[in-house]
A and B are shown apart, each in its own frame.
Chain A
Amino acid sequence: MKNASIALALAMTVTAGTASAQTIEMIVPFSAGGGTDTVARVFEPGFSEALGQTVVIRNVDGASGTIGAAAAADATADGSTVGYLPIGPLAIQPSLRDTSYSPDDFAYICQTTSTPVFLLQKKGGDASSVEDWIEKGTDGRVVYGSSGPGTIPHLAMAAFASEAGLNAVHLPFKGTGPAMNAMAGGEIDLFVDTATVLENNDVTALAVFAPERVEAYPDIPTMAEAGYELDFSVWQGLVAPKGVDEDTLASYSEACEKAIATDRFKKLADDTNTGVMYRGPEDFAAFVKKNSEQNRAILKEAGLIE
């Protein structure tokens, strides 16, 4: 028993430390069991099968995913290391802080998901529309939560608050869970997050931060309908360190497209209200660039960077 656990622990460190030529190491910049990790672990078997190579996931946690992203950017560019990264470390954190890498240090393989976010309030409150909150926010104040500074819940709300001229207070929490607790207790008025959060908590959605209404929620209006052209989503994708040769990139991108088309991946996407979205290397690179610039502008507007 003890030996088994020793062997397991050793095996974990050994596999974490070495990546041989035929094994691809996939860095996930958050701990095992988190949202990104769950998707990555369902993505990995399809990707590995399509390539015919073993893929090993390595969780490198810390500093909102930037430690893992830095590890992916610094890896040898021979195709033996890829990173499964979400929006935060790719398109927000490099603007917020001095990270050792920038979005230009990656070769983009493919985008895998894109999930729209909703404006949420506690169920049964006296406000029932975006307009109600604009009124409250201009007469008095609104308090909104986030899962941390520089996260999408924060940026989307900050952008809305500045466009609508709200007197808004931002309360950052350590993750969505504690923030939902604060919403249940009435400490925060508004929160922005995905449909998963909407489904799992006692909250209602007032609007979706997307150009068009979402198929699964036809009754929920867009922010644009309330007069604010705001488009926010959380997304993930696969990257490699810059310098990986074109052939490898193309074969990985092809395998990625197959992986997100597997039943397993689609089922997880359905179960977790995750939107499957494929973008190839060039489209994905262009998207990240545009997204980073948009986010940087919001951070500046919110006074978080100069």
Chain B
Amino acid sequence: MTIDLAFLAEALSPWTLLAIVFGTVLGVVIGALPGLGSVVGLSICLPFTFGMDTVPSLALLLGVYCGSVYGGSISAILINSPGTPQSAATMLDGYPMAERGEAGQALGWATAASVAGGLLSCIVLILAAPQLARFATRFGSVEVFGLILLALTCIAAVSKGSMVKGLAMGAAGLFVALIGTDPVTGAARFTFGIEFLTAGLDLISVVIGLFALSEAFSRLALRRMGAPTVANARVILPALRAWKGRVVNLFRSSLIGCLIGALPGTGAATAAFISYASAKQASPRRDDFGKGEPDGLIAAESANNAVTGSAMIPTLALGIPGDVVTAILLSAMVVHGITPGVRLMTEHLDVVNAIFVVLIIVNIVMLVVAFPIVRAFGRILSVPEPIIMVGVIVFSLIGAITVRGNALDGVVAVLFGMIGYALRIGGFPLAPFVIGLVLGPQFEQNLRRGLLLNEGDILSFPTASWISAVIFTTVALLVIANPLKALMTFGRNRQKQS
């Protein structure tokens, strides 16, 4: 077998490398700014790619994509508001670490885990794209519904303090996800006759309202100034020996990211939550989760960055874009005369190979540019806090409004900012709400498709296939595990007493 290495020349050309560096830096910055996420970043860059060559333009977009998924973790850790919904799970342990004065270490874990997850998914993509793509097609509505249930158990894992409050917030998030258009009948529901609401609430507006704006409000209102952020923030990479006992977690989380990424229509936020939930079950340090445990950071960040590589799997192997991000990448290919599809890997192997190489370089570049960008953020954060908070508010609103080009999304963000502020005062955890909101639409659509297929018989779900049998058994075990454990400790304590 001879391998044509011409693609290397194109993937390593100065223009491509320039596009990678520019795209990655832009992506990290956009990801780190609350409200501006992957989609906004790609939309900004897309028109510029029309005048570029194919590989450099894909390199630019891939850089923005991967960079933005990582970048979200910077603001999640430093200012307790995820830069993108994908980093909502990163905040759970990242911010507590920053509060302890370990922001540098938290950023180091997040950076290392992101790069490792991204690179591992590149390897999976290169070695097993066709096989994994075929395996992913075996996940029908029932199986994906099971996976979403699995992710929802994460709500219990992140309900600090009161389980009741956590579950209530999760349910509230699921409910808010219902606002908009019924996915089966197309009827408007919970819209109160307001046309704007028929589109549903935009996830990004709600998330930045709930986290970024409410954080800003509470700091400004409560004068919680000089809270233990972040002067001189910099990335302190974890020492090699600190990885001891965490490597399994890294691999498991990356593989979860790879699998979820390969399923069309799920995405990085879902992957991060599933990974976080399973790390919380498996880690020997599970009791420290939510209090600033690096394992939680590793789980979230390696999984969401592993999605970036594996989201390409159905896109490249089957020509099926899994989400808006890959759809934008595909449209950039179409503009350059490359028809994506089942024959992409055979007809345009050079482009596919170049994408592989570009993805690897992007992850390495990410590791390098993380240092100066975090430095720059640290410097920005050392200006007086009211100014930072006003900046956060302004950026959040710009972000909210640009996503769908609708000013009312800014109003939504402000409303959820106030709701988030009230919830913080009441001691309600915000993370379960976001989990419910992120997973809600997929939860509903897959459940309802499953019911349509099985004539309304939900009890037939676990026996639909061996995959669903495995998933639903796991869910059942997770659900009974904790009460069982509590019961056993209770029993043991009583034995001791008697």
Contact = CB atoms under 8 A, between A and B. Distances in A.
B43 interface: yes
A145 B345 CA distance: 26
Contacts of A175: 265, 321, 327
Contacts of A271: 334, 337, 339
A160 to B, nearest CB: 18
Interface in B36-53: 36, 39-40, 42-44, 46-47, 50
Contacts of B449: 171-173
B404 A202 contact: no
A181 B402 contact: no
Contacts of B136: 181
Contacts of A20: none
B196 A177 contact: no
B327 A10 contact: no
Interface in A68-106: 68, 70, 96-100
A30 to B, nearest CB: 10
Contacts of A200: 319, 339-342
A304 interface: yes
B264 A181 contact: yes
Interface residues of A, number: 62
Contacts of A63: 180-181, 195, 198-200
B140 interface: yes
B199 A62 contact: yes
B398 A180 contact: no
Contacts of A34: 327, 331
A182 B25 contact: no
B36 A64 contact: no
Given A63-B181, A149-B185, A33 B141 contact: no
Interface string B176-212: 0000111111111000010110111010000000000
A220 interface: no
A32 B264 contact: no
B29 interface: yes
Contact of B264 (A70, A178, A202, A304): A178
A70 B314 contact: no
16 contacts: A5-B29, A5-B33, A34-B331, A58-B405, A60-B405, A62-B200, A97-B187, A172-B183, A172-B449, A177-B322, A178-B320, A181-B264, A184-B137, A185-B137, A201-B341, A304-B185
Given A1-B25, A100-B195, 8 more contacts: A59-B404, A62-B406, A97-B198, A98-B193, A149-B186, A177-B327, A181-B264, A201-B342
Interface of B: 25-26, 29-30, 33, 36, 39-40, 42-44, 46-47, 50, 134, 136-141, 180-188, 193, 195-196, 198-200, 202, 263-265, 314, 318-322, 324, 327-328, 331-332, 334-335, 337, 339-342, 376, 398-399, 401-406, 441, 445, 449, 452-453
Name the 3 nearest CB pairs between A and B, nearest first.
A62-B199, A200-B341, A149-B186
